[in-house]
Amino acid sequence: MALLRVEDLHKRYGHEEVLKGVSLTLAAGETKVVIGPSGTGKSTLLRCINRLTEPDRGRVWLGDLEVTARRADLNKIRAQIGFVFQDFNLFTHLTALDNVRLGLLKVRGMGRREATERAMAELERVGLKAKASAYPAQLSGGQQQRVSIARALAMDPKLMLFDEPTSALDPELIGEVLAVMIQLAKEGMTMIVVTHEMGFARSVADEIVFMEGGVIVEQGPPEVLFRSPKVPRTGEFLRKISELYGEAG
């Protein structure tokens, strides 16, 4: 059974229809990379999946749990979906350790000792054990983003959503964040990553999803999309971002 099913999502802001019927499926362990021009609804799509934004129409299932059900326990569902933001959104008044520990203590109801151990393990996983007592403002962008990934991973998510996790970073800091994500993908995490880092997409994406104007224009394995896209517009966009971002990622 699919780990995530998104069916016909619609979202409108005022007169602007941002999502015009988006559907996709992820099997467990699958990584999908979502690309597309600015303003085409990529962030909106991710936020509709855990209902940080309320979709107007359409359905989302996480396993056999319907996220969009009226009586869905949203807090419980969100705790199973890790979300990584473009600008990190670490809690500024908390240390790295407390950022990672908070969800364990306040959402999962874990005991203090166990939560601390778990949080330290997650910080170690992203290479930041030594920074446990640092506050976000004392960390570089790359370090902040790694802490925010640790914060999400600590909750044992079934699914991770990344919204342009490296686009707020200086070029020399992008690599360390991508390395963590590549490792995650290899360990079998199920993830949707909105990014224009094509090197990353080529090495870990099972499929690339090209979105434009609120719909999925085309999706398929990277080799196929790069070599022989069905829609000319896909090839055009892929060439453009490959030029813009390089493929080193």
Partner 1 sequence: MDLGVWAQVGSYLPVLLQGLLVNVELLLGLLALGFAIGVVAALLEVYAPRPLGFLASAYTWFFRGVPEIVLLFLFYFGLPQIGLRLSAFLAAVLALGFRSSAYQAQIFRGALLSIPTGQMMAARALGLSRLGAIRHIVLPQALRLSLAGWSNEFSSVLKDTTLAWGIGVVEVMRQATYIRARNFTLTLPIYLTVAFLFLVLTYAGNFAIGMAEKRLRIPGLEGRG
Ligand X SMILES: Nc1ncnc2c1ncn2[C@@H]1O[C@H](COP(=O)(O)OP(=O)(O)OP(=O)(O)O)[C@@H](O)[C@H]1O
Q: Choose the stretch contacting ligand X; rule: CB under 6 A; options: 12-20, 101-109, 128-136, 147-155.
A: 12-20
Q: Applying CB under 8 A, does 65 fall inside the site for partner 1? A: no
Q: Shortest CA distance to 156 belongs to which of 99, 118, 194?
A: 118
Cα separation of 185 and 170, whole Å?
Answer: 23
What are residue 194's DSSP bridge partners? 34, 163
Element of type H or E holding 163: strand 159-163
Out of ligand X, Mg ion, partner 1, none, which partner does residue 26 contact, by CB within 5 to 8 A per kind? none
Q: Choose the stretch contacting partner 1; rule: CB under 8 A; options: 18-26, 151-159, 215-223, 240-248.
A: 151-159
Q: Exactly one of 6, 24, 35, 44 binds ligand X (CB under 6 A); which one?
A: 44
Q: Exactly one of 38, 109, 137, 172 binds ligand X (CB under 6 A); which one?
A: 38
Cα separation of 80 and 63, whole Å?
Answer: 11
Q: Applying CB under 6 A, does 50 fall inside the site for ligand X? A: no
Q: Exactly one of 37, 57, 69, 106 binds partner 1 (CB under 8 A); which one?
A: 106
Q: Exactly one of 8, 23, 27, 39 binds ligand X (CB under 6 A); which one?
A: 39
Q: Choose the stretch contacting partner 1; rule: CB under 8 A; options: 73-81, 122-130, 188-196, 223-231.
A: 73-81
Q: Exactly one of 36, 41, 55, 136 binds partner 1 (CB under 8 A); which one?
A: 136
Q: Applying CB under 6 A, does 18 fall inside the site for ligand X? A: yes
- Give the count of residues interacting with ligand X (CB under 6 A): 11
Q: Applying CB under 8 A, does 13 fall inside the site for partner 1? A: no
* Core vs surface per residue 29-42: b (16+ CB within 10 A) or e: ebbbbbbbeeebbb
Q: Applying CB under 6 A, does 55 fall inside the site for ligand X? A: no
Nearest to partner 1 of 120, 152 (CB atom): 152
Burial class of 22 by CB neighbour count within 10 A (0 to 12, 13 to 18, 19+): buried
Out of partner 1, Mg ion, ligand X, none, which partner does residue 41 contact, by CB within 5 to 8 A per kind? ligand X
Q: Quick one: residue 196, left, alpha or beta (phi over 0 = left, psi -120 to 50 = alpha)?
A: alpha
Q: Which long-range contacts (CB under 8 A, 24 or more apart) does 221-228 make?
A: 222/33, 226/202
Helix 141-153, helix 112-125: angle, nearest 10: 130
Give me the residues that bind ligand X (CB under 6 A), please: 13, 16, 18, 36, 38-44
